[in-house]
Amino acid sequence: MRENPNFSHITKLHPCFNEKIHDKVGRIHIPIAPKCNIQCGFCTRSLNKEENRPGVASEIMSIDRAIEHIRKVTEGDQPINVVGVAGPGDSLYNEDTLKLFKRVGIEFPEMILCMSTNGLLVPDYADEIISSGVKTVTITINAVDPEIGVQIYDDIHYKDKIYHGREGFELLLKNQLKGVELLSQAGIIVKVNSVLIPGVNDEHIFDIALEVKRRGASLMNILPLIPLNKFKGYPRPSCGELSKLRDEVEQIIPVFRACTQCRADAFGIPGKHEQDFSLGVTPSSHY
């Protein structure tokens, strides 16, 4: 499939899609999505001020509070290009996400709107995502083989029913891949995140890359497992393991290598420690 024509333009401005500007421009993650509709084996969501990882925020914002926060951050000295929703649950499983994007589009039209999701609901909300003005979407896909997927996922909650095992994973995967296709065809830049879990999907990431590239994804991000939940006892992949796999995948699809696996309430410049903050642990003077 040919490269998305918007890829070059958008990625010149997005610090989580372009390593060259990762330490030069900032983004704001709005923690407005507390609920999630699947259970990933490596995920534990939490509200706290201490942990530096996805799935964590210090508060859940209302839309009005989020607009106020965006205004304060963008009035500061840092160049901010992106407003995103990355949890701490799933963005599309929380109706305020798309409502927020519509408000931001009106009040901050210069901002790139970005969303992270597990992909289960993308086909159902594709038209709304497109009409809301979202330009970049990250979908986390950790397997395309049911034998591997059932080791990672459980409790797939879809349309008032909970699915388990192979049935649940196949439903999730079908919607994820369809979502990649629909958004890519509409001109939205799709990045696929894959969590590298040693002994589970470490020899499968290349297959994921082949499939998502075929569906229209523009970029891939391979993340090291943070050992939590049922994968608590698993080793975190080494830098060498990550680098080798990224090199292999890059033969298929461009790979983003600078992800800091930040909190759902992070804001600022992600590649600069002294200019990247999170709610609840950042003095108001940093605004």
pLDDT in tens, 267-279: 988 877 767 688 7
Cα dihedral: 208, 214, 217, 222 (round 10) = 20
Tokens of 222: 């391979």
Instruction: Look up the domain containing 184 and give its range.
Output: 7-286
pLDDT in tens, 119-157: 999 999 999 999 999 999 999 999 999 999 999 998 999
Q: In the prediction, which pLDDT does 285 show?
A: 41
Evaluate if residue 4 carries a pLDDT over 90. Answer: no
CB atoms within 10 A of CB 64: 10
pLDDT in tens, 249-270: 999 999 999 888 889 999 988 8
Whole-angstrom Cα distance, residue 19 to residue 3? 19
> Could you give phi then psi for residue 239, rounded to 5 degrees?
-60, -35
Q: In the prediction, which pLDDT does 268 show?
A: 87
Query: How much is the CA Rg of the chain, to the nearest whole Å?
Result: 18
Is there a domain that residue 2 lies in?
no
Strand partners, 221: 193
Evaluate if residue 244 carries a pLDDT over 80. Answer: yes
Is there a domain that residue 1 lies in?
no
Q: In the prediction, which pLDDT does 283 show?
A: 45
Whole-angstrom Cα distance, residue 19 to residue 30? 22
pLDDT in tens, 66-115: 999 999 999 988 889 999 999 999 999 999 999 999 999 999 999 999 99
Average pLDDT over residues 208-233: 95
Going by pLDDT thresholds of 50, 70 and 90, the confidence category of residue 200 is very high
Q: In the prediction, which pLDDT does 274 show?
A: 67
The pTM for the full model equals 0.93
Is there a domain that residue 280 lies in?
yes
User: What residue type is 170 in one-letter code?
Assistant: E
Q: In the prediction, which pLDDT does 110 show?
A: 94
DSSP state of 193: E
Whole-angstrom Cα distance, residue 205 to residue 189? 20
Going by pLDDT thresholds of 50, 70 and 90, the confidence category of residue 16 is confident
HEC string of 199-234 equals: CCCCCCHHHHHHHHHHHCCCEEEEEECCCCHHHCCC
CB atoms within 10 A of CB 126: 19
Is there a domain that residue 201 lies in?
yes
- Return the CATH number at 102: 3.20.20.70
Under 8 Å between Cβ of 133 and 186: no
Average pLDDT over residues 26-42: 94
Helix axes 122-131, 165-185, angle to 10 degrees: 20
Under 8 Å between Cβ of 72 and 11: no
Q: In the prediction, which pLDDT does 282 show?
A: 53
Exposure b/e, 218-245, CB count within 10 A at least 16 = b: bbbbbbbbbebebbeebeebeeebbeeb
Whose CA is closest to 197, among 243, 231, 149? 231
The gap between the terminal CA atoms of the chain, to the nearest Å, is 43
The tokens 């939490």 sit on which residue? 46
For the chain, how many structural domains are there in total?
1
Is there a domain that residue 253 lies in?
yes
